[in-house]
């Protein structure tokens, strides 16, 4: 079942992010300047709106795949990092009390997307970064 992207973090999460993470970190800049909202529309056909167990929001999962791509991490490693790395949690919009996806969830999501759609979605992120001046 399609789960919508969480649109707000708790005050506690926001405070921790501002207090503990370097404000000029590349991931926080990407989060602030790159629009990932297209992901829900691009993946809507892959999910039921009313049936099945609630899934992680596709935008969150794509953000996790982006982390794996950006840092050249395996699914196992990025899932592990996501459990305890505050920066990765902030980027993927998981609050401190959220469960995070395991590596098999990432495999299923990537398989559901298929190689062409997965590449197209990641390419859209890279293209936005280029348009905003990233090299």
Q: Give the mean pLDDT per block of 10 residues along the chain (135 residues).
A: 61 75 87 93 83 83 96 98 94 90 96 95 92 78
Q: What pLDDT is recorded for position 20?
A: 75
d(CA 124, CA 55): 23
Q: What pLDDT is recorded for position 88?
A: 96
> How many Cβ atoms from other residues are within 10 Å of residue 42's Cβ?
17
Domain of residue 127, residue span: 11-131
d(CA 14, CA 103): 26
How many domains would you assign to the chain? 1
Buried b (16+ CB within 10 A) or exposed e, 86-100: ebbbbbbbbeeebeb
Q: Contact at 8 Å (CB) between 58 and 107?
A: no
3 located within any domain:
no
Q: What pLDDT is recorded for position 127?
A: 93
């Amino acid at each position: 079942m399609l789960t919508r992207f969480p649109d707000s973090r708790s005050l506690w999460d926001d405070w921790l992010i501002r207090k503990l993470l370097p404000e000029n970190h590349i991931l926080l800049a990407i989060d602030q300047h790159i629009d990932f909202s297209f992901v829900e529309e691009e993946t809507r056909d892959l999910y039921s709106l009313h049936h099945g167990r609630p899934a992680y929001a596709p935008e969150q999962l794509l953000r996790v795949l982006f982390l794996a791509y950006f840092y050249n991490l395996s699914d196992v490693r990025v899932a592990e990092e996501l459990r305890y790395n505050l920066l990765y949690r902030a980027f993927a919009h998981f609050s401190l009390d959220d469960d995070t996806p395991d590596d098999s969830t990432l495999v299923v999501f990537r398989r559901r997307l298929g190689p062409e759609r997965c590449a197209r979605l990641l390419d859209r992120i890279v293209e936005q970064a280029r348009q905003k001046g990233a090299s």
